[in-house]
């Protein structure tokens, strides 16, 4: 990958795989969507995650990530917005435990907005912005011309790894859903755990 202005590609790939495999809001959202609403909706969530990553990479290329790092107030505001949205999703999940019978529980309404919610979750994720700021750009040869080529090369690799992992989560979610249909109490416990995870992510962002 040196020919494309990418430095230490295999180190980048190893670090990327570790980071993507770490549980986070985006992957949990795709998994839960597959469990509660089926693979068709989960594919919408996956597409939104990939588009969100692409937008963040493009903003990193434009230098927006660096501007956010240079402005603590702007980054703090973004962090709070991301925390508020995660809290909103977590509360929705927890409230769904009271509103519906176990066999009817769903995290999000079927009609509407899985794609929009997943995209917003991706774009307001401070962890992702920090990734592109502190990790992603370390593997870019700043002297390479044209400058967009190494960004594009790494973006393609990142998107392919994300696509493979999230696809596995979609199929895993579909298999889990089949089990949950016959084990409603286990499904309730899963919803409770996921709601607490999202609210935990929100609290962690505020406490940083």
Q: How far is the C-alpha of 61 from the C-alpha of 96, rounded, in Å?
A: 40
Q: What is the pLDDT of residue 108?
A: 43
Domain that holds residue 111: 2-207
Distances (CA, A) of 103 to 35, 78, 182, 191, 198: 12, 37, 9, 12, 22
Q: How far is the C-alpha of 30 from the C-alpha of 166, rounded, in Å?
A: 7
Residue stretches of the chain with pLDDT short of 50: 101-112
Count of structural domains within the chain = 1
Whose CA is closest to 92, among 188, 195, 184?
195
Q: What is the pLDDT of residue 51?
A: 93
Q: How far is the C-alpha of 45 from the C-alpha of 29, rounded, in Å?
A: 8
Q: What is the pLDDT of residue 47?
A: 94
Q: What is the pLDDT of residue 110?
A: 44
Q: How far is the C-alpha of 47 from the C-alpha of 144, rounded, in Å?
A: 30
Q: What is the pLDDT of residue 105?
A: 44
Q: How far is the C-alpha of 177 from the C-alpha of 175, rounded, in Å?
A: 5
* pTM (predicted TM-score): 0.72
């Amino acid at each position: 990958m040196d020919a494309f202005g990418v430095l230490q590609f295999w180190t980048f790939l190893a670090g990327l795989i570790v980071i993507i495999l770490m549980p986070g809001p985006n992957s949990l959202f795709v998994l839960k969507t597959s469990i509660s609403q089926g693979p068709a909706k989960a594919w919408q969530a996956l597409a939104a995650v990939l588009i969100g990553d692409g937008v963040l990479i493009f903003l990193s290329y434009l230098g927006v990530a660096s501007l956010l790092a240079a402005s603590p107030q702007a980054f703090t505001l973004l962090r709070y917005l991301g925390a508020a949205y995660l809290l909103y999703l977590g509360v929705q999940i927890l409230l769904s435990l009271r509103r519906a019978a176990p066999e009817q529980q769903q995290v999000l309404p079927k009609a509407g907005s899985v794609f929009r919610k997943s995209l917003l979750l991706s774009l307001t994720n401070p962890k992702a912005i920090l990734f592109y700021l502190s990790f992603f750009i370390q593997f870019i040869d700043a002297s390479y011309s044209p400058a967009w080529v190494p960004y594009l090369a790494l973006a393609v690799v990142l998107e392919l790894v994300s696509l493979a992992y999230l696809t596995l989560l979609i199929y895993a979610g579909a298999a889990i859903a089949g089990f949950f249909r016959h084990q409603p109490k286990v499904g309730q416990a899963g919803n409770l755990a996921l709601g607490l995870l999202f609210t935990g992510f929100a609290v962690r962002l505020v406490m940083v």
